[in-house]
């Protein structure tokens, strides 16, 4: 494996993130902090508990996932789209770097940035809402698995997009609505039976449910199902990336 190539891509992408600290790090943390202030401290103090958990603490996993999904997709899609837009992707394709090594460099950097952001948001949440983490190992595992899975998904979007507008379509029109409807601010058990069943079609439900379980030991979906669905999504994304590089779709022309 060409570790030098992987390290070069990884370091370049990480350096780009730190050059744009306000946009890449500060902005998502400030935006999520506003949710904690409004929904956690202001509204949450006037609402009852959900499954024995205060509302402010209950929404923390959902808010972290909301930022994590959007930032993972944005970091990875922008990282591979810029070489396409500038034409330097041909240098990458002609370099002695396999598709898997390029994938590890770009997705590894995007997942690292998302992990850092998720942990920073969790630390910031302490300033507004008290919470406990019942299963730290599972919490970190879900954070890592989600970051990698949706960075892969973002990488696919970056390969597919042929203009800057398309980079924003999927996160804004699909991922964000699915997150809001995936139990970020409520438990799906609070819904009527029909809507509970329909909610299980939403893949984000499994992510939020599993992540919330790692905090409080309560979940809308069994933890094994949540982990299995996330791993299945990761596997599908890997197969799609392999096919995109093998076929040269929107890369060689």
205-246 residue pLDDT tens = 998 999 999 999 888 888 899 899 889 999 998 899 888 877
Span 100-149, pLDDT tens digits: 888 888 899 999 988 988 888 888 888 888 888 889 999 999 999 999 99
Span 167-212, pLDDT tens digits: 888 888 888 888 888 888 888 888 888 888 888 888 889 989 999 9
Q: Is the pLDDT confidence value at 44 over 70?
A: no
This prediction has a pTM of: 0.87
Q: How many CA atoms lie within 13 A of 199 on its CB side?
A: 24
* Position 153 confidence tier, pLDDT thresholds 50, 70, 90: very high
- Highest-confidence range of 14-18, 49-53, 175-179, by mean pLDDT? 175-179
Provide the pLDDT for residue 149. 92
Provide the pLDDT for residue 232. 92
Strand partners, 53: 50
Higher confidence at residue 222 or residue 88? Answer: 222
Provide the pLDDT for residue 62. 86
């Amino acid at each position: 494996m060409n570790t030098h190539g992987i390290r070069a891509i990884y370091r370049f992408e990480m350096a780009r993130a730190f050059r744009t600290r306000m946009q890449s790090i500060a902005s998502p943390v400030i935006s999520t902090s506003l949710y904690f202030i409004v929904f956690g401290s202001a509204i949450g103090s006037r609402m009852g508990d959900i499954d024995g958990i205060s509302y402010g603490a209950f929404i923390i996993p959902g808010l972290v996932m909301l930022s994590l999904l959007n930032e993972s997709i944005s970091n990875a899609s922008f990282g591979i789209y810029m070489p396409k837009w500038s034409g330097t992707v041909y240098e990458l394709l002609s370099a002695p770097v396999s598709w898997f090594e390029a994938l590890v460099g770009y997705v590894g950097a995007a997942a690292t940035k998302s992990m850092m952001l998720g942990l920073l948001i969790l630390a910031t949440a302490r300033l507004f809402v008290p919470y406990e983490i019942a299963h730290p190992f599972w919490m970190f595992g879900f954070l890592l698995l989600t970051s990698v899975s949706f960075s892969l998904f973002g990488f696919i979007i970056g390969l597919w997009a042929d203009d800057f507008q398309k980079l924003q379509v999927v996160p804004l029109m699909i991922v964000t609505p699915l997150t809001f409807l995936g139990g970020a601010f409520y438990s799906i058990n609070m819904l009527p039976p029909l809507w509970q069943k329909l909610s299980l079609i939403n893949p984000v439900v499994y992510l939020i449910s599993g992540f919330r379980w790692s905090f409080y030991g309560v979940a809308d979906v069994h933890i094994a199902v949540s982990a299995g669905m996330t791993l299945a999504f990761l596997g599908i994304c890997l197969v799609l990336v392999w096919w995109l590089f093998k076929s040269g779709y929107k890369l060689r022309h």
